[in-house]
Amino acid sequence: MRSGAPDLTGRTLLAVFAHPDDESIACGGLLTLCAEQGARVILLCATRGDHGGGTLDPDITSALRALRTTELAAAAAVLGIADVQFLDYRDAYLQATNWDLISADIEAVIVRERPDVVVTFGEDGLYWHPDHIVVHHATTDAVERIGPSGPALYYVTMPKGAIRTLVDTLRPRLADGDVPQVLGVTDADAFGVLAKPPTLVVDVGRVAARKLAALRCHRSQADGPLLVMRDDEAAALLGIEHFRRAPVGAEGDSFLDRLAAIG
């Protein structure tokens, strides 16, 4: 535990995302800082990311499911996440799933784990991924049903231009033929564009190398710039995380406000 920072022993943060790797790129730094200060960090992942490659071949999707589950366990260990839970919905099909069912599942986890804080995607789903947007709505509805006696809810958004800077900085080091994409997203400008302004900006530079290490645990996803980035570049390129307090859930300051004030 870092002296001067708040003791979060007994506190719980629940992060709700769609796929293995979302947690690391969205808020790997925040999760690390919370775990370091003693909070119990739980990750709820709606799918196991089994759609990568776009195939429905059951042998391939089942192998991918196992691989990405293993990769997420490794990333979780790097970030200090104590518990990874899955809802086991089909990757890439959340929009075709009954959103109320997804929301009810998320609510059940919140009721069981009693987190102080929940973090999920904002309306923009980081870069307009349809699965991410469903998780945003399903989580918001779940927290709203529980009401002010439940957790504080925060939306994670990407600082506008951060991924463009990352790609442009590292592009000269990519091998010929390497696509300058991040986690399979080829439009670097999609991250954070039109995101609403943050209410909480967290400097995670001190643990940014761990965030990078966690991203690289997702070996089937980590690509181009993430593979050539040096640890000493991580603070500049991955060191700021943006969050916005949701209008539902608990009111008043949460432990994230106290943590962010320390930096």
**Given the complex with Zn ion, which of 195 and 250 has the nearer CB atom?**
195
CA-to-CA distance for 91 and 135, rounded, in angstroms?
A: 12
**Given the complex with Zn ion, which of 212 and 250 has the nearer CB atom?**
212
The CB-of-124 to Zn ion minimum distance in angstroms stands at 13
Part in contact with Zn ion (CB under 5 A); list of ranges 13-21, 66-74, 117-125, 142-150: 13-21
User: Number of residues in contact with Zn ion, rule: CB under 5 A?
Assistant: 3
Instruction: Give, as ranges, the residues between 19 and 58 that touch Zn ion (CB under 5 A).
Output: 19, 22
CB 64 within 8 A of CB 55: no
Sole binder of Zn ion in the list 14, 18, 170, 237 (CB under 5 A): 18
Instruction: Give, as ranges, the residues between 80 and 119 that touch Zn ion (CB under 5 A).
Output: none
The CB-of-150 to Zn ion minimum distance in angstroms stands at 25
The CB-of-66 to Zn ion minimum distance in angstroms stands at 18
CB 24 within 8 A of CB 214: yes
CB 132 within 8 A of CB 18: yes
Part in contact with Zn ion (CB under 5 A); list of ranges 14-22, 28-36, 72-80, 206-214: 14-22
Residues near 122 by Cβ (< 8 Å), separated by ≥ 6?
Answer: 136, 155, 156, 157, 195, 196, 244
Where b means 16+ CB within 10 Å and e means fewer, 199-238 reads ebebbbbebbbbbbbbbbbbebbbbbbbeebeeebbbebb
Is 50 buried (19+), middle (13-18) or exposed (0-12) by CB count in 10 A? Answer: buried
**Given the complex with Zn ion, which of 37 and 221 has the nearer CB atom?**
221
**Given the complex with Zn ion, which of 135 and 204 has the nearer CB atom?**
135
The residue behind tokens 């909480």 is 200
Residue 79 near Zn ion by CB under 5 A: no
> Which residues of this protein are in contact with Zn ion, per CB under 5 A?
18-19, 22
